[in-house]
Amino acid sequence: MTDAERLARTRYFTIVGVNLLTVAGAVLGLLIAGRAQATEHTILGGALILASLYAMAVVPRALARRWRTPEQP
């Protein structure tokens, strides 16, 4: 395996790991909001869900854009 392939594999697993962490954050937010006894806990769960969904949409794209192969002349 060449260094370029190793780097590509590492970057792929990083993006997949970020996706898994954001999904876990959204599930945690659902659990907090679903089991909440107070309004503050419901708001906290909702905020965690929204933050996780935002990160799920933005972070992998930003990483892919940052690591994009430059165009060759």
* Per-residue pLDDT tens over the stretch 12-66: 999 999 999 999 999 999 999 999 999 999 999 999 999 999 999 999 999 999 9
Alpha-carbon gap, residue 38 to 31, rounded angstroms: 14
**Confidence at 1, pLDDT banded by 50, 70, 90:** confident
Task: For residue 71, give the DSSP letter.
Answer: P
Alpha-carbon gap, residue 4 to 69, rounded angstroms: 11
Residue 50 has what pLDDT? 97
Residue 19 has what pLDDT? 96
pTM above 0.85, yes or no: no
**Position 73 pLDDT exceeds 90:** no
Residues with Cβ within 8 Å of 51's Cβ and at least 6 positions away in sequence, in order, are: 25, 29
